Amino acid sequence: MKQQIEGSQAVAQAVALCRPEVMACYPISPQTHIVETLSRKVKAGEIGNCQFLNVESEFGALSVLIGASAMGARSYTATTSQGLLFMAEAVYNAAGLGLPIVMTIANRAIGAPINIWNDHSDSMAMRDAGWLQLFAEDNQEAVDLHIQAFRLAEELSCPVMVCMDGYILTHAFEEVDLPTQEQVDDFLPPFEPVQVLDPQDPVSIGAMVGPEAFTEVRYLAHHKHLQALEAIPRISQAFQDIFQRSSGGLLKQYHTDEAETLLLALGSVNGTIKDAVDDLRTEGWPVGAIQLCSYRPFPSHALRHVAHNAKRVIVIEKDLAVGNGGIVSGEVKLALQGLPTIVDTVIAGLGGRAISKAAVIDIVKAACLEGLEEPHFLDLNWEAINRELTKQAEQRRSGPTPENLLREIGLSSGKAL
Amino acid sequence: MSYQRVKFYQTGTFTVGNRLLDEGDRTVQARTDRSNSLNSGHRACQGCGEALGARYALDAVMRATQNKMVAVNATGCLEVFSSPYPESAWQIPWLHSVFGNAPAVASGVAAALRAKGKTDIRVVAQGGDGATVDIGFGCLSGMFERNDDVLYLCYDNEAYMNTGVQRSGATPARAWTNTTQAVGTEPGNPMGIGKNLPRIAMAHGIPFVATASVADLHDLETKVTKAMSIRGARYIHIHVPCPLGWKSDPAQTIKVARLAVESGLFPLFEAEGGVVSDRTPIRKQVPVEQYLALQGRFKHLFNPRDEEALAAIQAIADRNIHLYALLPTKPAMET
């Protein structure tokens, strides 16, 4: 049924329809509305016998789910940013143990400086943990990906992060078609674990493994992601068969045929990018766009197939590999290696800075006409940066950089705000 | 041929020999149908107190639950010596995640069992003192305050032994470890620091807290059995000598553990709902020196004699005696 609904509320409804059995949650913005809604549903008895645990930390939250999932229970939590880093050890562990936990990441920047707004630094920091990472473009897709995520996770016995942009999606009200319980039940069978703690058939889960078998265990984790490359499109198709709409898959194309320049991005900025592509095409620029829906596994083959005729791929990414540049663009370059395609890195939208349609249009034109330095930082305030660099060069005790920058830009202590 | 029933009496303790007990009260290990949660062939050191304590504790849980149990293990010696792939020594469903999360993982197992309506299956979490009082403390406190249906067993050997004997928050005053070396003006672990986890557990008001020692395995089994008769968060802190880290004779593990109890340094007691409800009295208090002298980790206190330190450690023991009324002739201190 179509509803005007907040992204977080919609995701909570979708998760509830998936009949989770254990949820353990710890508050952190901007994912709180999701778990608040789920806690109410559990307490009201709307999700069967589901258990909702208010825990002492994100590390505790995911650890609870590790126990619950190993006991054969469908398990869910949501987190973001510092919370994801705080649970990092358990994030790797859940994947290493092959436990099909589903976790929403309400993507948010990582401090310092502390910042609650959206970028992709958090889930990127966990990109090699062994979880599948799916990115939603809008709230409809966020809803749909959660439903697909449980099936994908449990089929492969591999945990899945559903990444949705913090605030931009989590707090946005838009029209979402919420499925019925019957549809979800048709699509998502009960959880049948491949390993379970059972007194009738005792096994040791999480035993120590030495050099004699560790590489093989790691390869099998990699193999799971290779299987996911096949499973993600298949499950997306199965979803379409029941729900009558297309959601998810490895990647989505927008006017990629005949396009000489392709924009590539993850998450909600694809909406802006598609508008920019429309305008550019009206002006006669041969431009298209690729929305990367699955970041882990990275769909190298599918991407190469789509982009192999393009002259240029401009990767707009909301993250930064400090000291190197782009994270996503590096992987795009690897996928396109051997082709003459130029891959540009545009670091944009860090800490919630808006990425406007005009900025996207300008960057495409600049890249095509003049080329871009690598990496390119979108909308960087060079004046403020240079003032700070000068200050740092002039005095040893130059003070905390974030404070200085705020003062430079005139936003601190009531000056401009 | 006729048999004479031989009775064994121990002197100097209130411990009762197994053969003096009714059949039903005898130790799990004395039974032909004993369960062997932790099989032989594991890689613990000679004289390991933790291996002994864990086997007795978990066998008692198996007996109390008719084998319907799951164990969650923190990283540490117990996990490493019992589980090298593919030779697990565990005969029970066993899960190891990471160092600091065993209480939370166990909470998750308990939650899954509630969700599935299988509350006849019970959950035990276990770890060493580092996993319990230090790195896993946040998760443990969370498990306590939510009163999750988990029995947590801490095997306290008073330092990080798996990593090669470093100080933990449970390392006793003036003990040598590799990070509290026997050098400087106050050799060994500084006096007056560290934490008393049984009392912290009691402060959470959970249904059951107890201390136990491998010196009195029957008492350990009894406490575990009692814990399993209760629902909610339960905590048992078990003193387990480590010959490697304590630099003690592996053949003397039980003696060392017994002297810790009889000196008053490791009081045996139970608490229900945050209030001490029972304690194991000492027949005759032995001086702490007898306990300390058996362990190389305290040898700097004797050569030359550090009277001040020995007196301070004796004062800790005396305070415990007073606090828990361990000598029948002395009344309990207000707690």
| CATH code for the domain of A369 | 3.40.50.920
Same domain, A30 and A172: yes
Rounded Cα gap, residues A22 and A46, in angstroms: 14
Contact A208, B84 (CB under 8 A): yes
Tokens 């590539």 map to which residue? A264
Interface contact flag, A60 B104, Cβ < 8 Å: yes
Contact A367, A285 (CB under 8 A): no
Paired with B71 in beta bridges are: B94, B124
Cβ partners under 8 Å of residue B4, min gap 6 = none
Specify if A382 maps to a domain. no
A39 at the B interface (CB within 8 A)?
A: no
Rounded Cα gap, residues B316 and B145, in angstroms: 29
Contact A125, A110 (CB under 8 A): yes
Specify if A117 maps to a domain. yes
* Chain centroid to CA B17: 21
Six-digit token string for A148:
């697909």
**Which DSSP helix (H) or strand (E) runs through A85?**
helix A81-86
Same domain, A393 and A369: no
In tens, the pLDDT along A398-410 reads 999 998 998 888 7
Same domain, A404 and A346: no
State the first-to-last Cα distance of chain A, in angstroms, to the nearest integer: 42
In tens, the pLDDT along A140-190 reads 999 999 999 999 999 999 999 999 999 999 999 999 999 999 999 999 999
* pLDDT recorded at residue B283: 87
Specify if A58 maps to a domain. yes
* pLDDT recorded at residue B35: 84
Please state, for a pLDDT cut of 90, what percent of chain A lies above it. 96
> Which residues in chain A are closer than 8 Å to B61, comparing Cβ atoms?
none
For B96, which of A55, A68, A207 is closest by C-beta distance?
Answer: A207
* pLDDT recorded at residue A414: 46
B146 at the A interface (CB within 8 A)?
A: yes
In A, minimum Cα distance to B121 occurs at A199
At the top level of CATH, the class of B34-323 is alpha beta
Measured in angstroms, the CA of B187 and the nearest CA of chain A are apart by 35
Same domain, A125 and A8: yes
Measured in angstroms, the CA of A47 and the nearest CA of chain B are apart by 10
Nearest to B132 by CA among B151, B113, B109, B110: B151
In tens, the pLDDT along A109-123 reads 999 999 999 999 999
Domain that holds residue A347: 251-377
The stretch A59-84 carries a mean pLDDT of 98
A54 at the B interface (CB within 8 A)?
A: yes
Mean pLDDT computed over every residue of chain A: 96
For A68, which of B86, B91, B112 is closest by C-beta distance?
Answer: B112
The stretch A311-339 carries a mean pLDDT of 98
In B, minimum Cα distance to A95 occurs at B97
Cβ partners under 8 Å of residue A327, min gap 6 = A124, A127, A317, A319, A320, A321
Measured in angstroms, the CA of A52 and the nearest CA of chain B are apart by 8
Rounded Cα gap, residues A299 and A75, in angstroms: 27
**Dihedral (Cα; A191, A195, A200, A202), 10-degree rounding:** -160
B85 at the A interface (CB within 8 A)?
A: yes
Interface mutation vs chain A, best among B43, B101, B114, B135, most A CBs within 10 Å: B101
Same domain, A226 and A135: yes
Relative to beta strand A75-79, strand A132-135 is: unpaired
A68 has pLDDT over 90: yes
Interface contact flag, B112 A24, Cβ < 8 Å: no
* pLDDT recorded at residue B14: 58
Same domain, A185 and A275: no
Interface mutation vs chain A, best among B37, B81, B105, most A CBs within 10 Å: B105
* pLDDT recorded at residue A412: 46
In A, minimum Cα distance to B138 occurs at A56
Rounded Cα gap, residues A403 and B101, in angstroms: 37
Rounded Cα gap, residues A376 and B265, in angstroms: 65
Amino acid at A224: K
Q: For Cα atoms B275, B277, B281, give the angle at the middle one, nearest 5 degrees.
A: 125
Interface contact flag, A68 B98, Cβ < 8 Å: no
* pLDDT recorded at residue A413: 43
Residue spans of alpha helices (H) in A265-395: 269-282, 300-307, 328-335, 357-370, 382-394
CB < 8 Å from A in window 53-82 of B: 67-70, 72-73, 79-80
Interface contact flag, B101 A97, Cβ < 8 Å: no
Tokens 């197992």 map to which residue? B109
Q: Where are the domains of chain B?
A: 34-323
* pLDDT recorded at residue A36: 98
Return the number of other C-beta atoms located less than 10 Å from residue A382's C-beta: 9
* pLDDT recorded at residue B2: 72
Specify if A407 maps to a domain. yes
Same domain, A215 and A306: no
Count of structural domains within chain A: 3
**Long-range pairs for B191-198 at CB < 8 Å and ≥24 separation?**
B191/B309, B191/B312, B194/B169, B194/B170, B195/B133, B195/B169, B195/B170, B197/B129, B197/B132, B197/B133, B197/B154, B197/B170, B197/B235, B197/B237, B198/B235, B198/B237, B198/B269, B198/B271
Specify if A412 maps to a domain. yes
In B, minimum Cα distance to A209 occurs at B85
Name the 3-class secondary structure at B76: coil
Contact A312, A286 (CB under 8 A): no
In tens, the pLDDT along A292-324 reads 999 999 999 999 999 999 999 999 999 999 999
Interface contact flag, B95 A205, Cβ < 8 Å: yes
* pLDDT recorded at residue A188: 98
> Which residues in chain B are closer than 8 Å to A53, comparing Cβ atoms?
107-108, 111, 146, 148
**Dihedral (Cα; B165, B166, B167, B173), 10-degree rounding:** 50
Contact A205, B95 (CB under 8 A): yes
In tens, the pLDDT along B28-61 reads 777 777 888 998 889 999 999 999 999 999 999 9
Query: How many residues comprise chain B?
Result: 335
Measured in angstroms, the CA of B95 and the nearest CA of chain A are apart by 5
pLDDT of chain B, 335 residues: tens digit per residue: 577 665 555 555 555 666 677 777 778 777 777 888 998 889 999 999 999 999 999 999 999 999 999 999 999 999 999 998 778 999 999 999 999 999 999 999 999 999 999 999 999 999 999 999 999 999 999 999 999 999 999 999 999 999 999 999 999 999 999 999 999 999 999 999 999 999 999 999 999 999 999 999 999 999 999 999 999 999 999 999 999 999 999 999 999 999 999 999 999 999 999 999 999 999 889 999 999 999 999 999 999 999 999 999 999 999 999 999 999 775 555 54
Six-digit token string for A74:
């469908």
> Which residues in chain A are closer than 8 Å to B67, comparing Cβ atoms?
199
Same domain, A407 and A338: no
Same domain, A255 and A279: yes
Residue B166 is given by DSSP the state B
Rounded Cα gap, residues B319 and B326, in angstroms: 10
Nearest to A80 by CA among A25, A129, A130, A128: A25
For A63, which of B88, B108, B117 is closest by C-beta distance?
Answer: B108
In tens, the pLDDT along B55-83 reads 999 999 999 999 999 999 999 999 999 99
Same domain, A199 and A333: no
Read off the CATH number of the domain in which A186 is found.
3.40.50.970
Same domain, A69 and A130: yes
Cβ pairs A/B, distance under 8 A: 166
The stretch A10-30 carries a mean pLDDT of 98
Same domain, A31 and A121: yes
A416 has pLDDT over 70: no
Specify if A361 maps to a domain. yes
Interface contact flag, A57 B138, Cβ < 8 Å: yes
Six-digit token string for A280:
């550019």
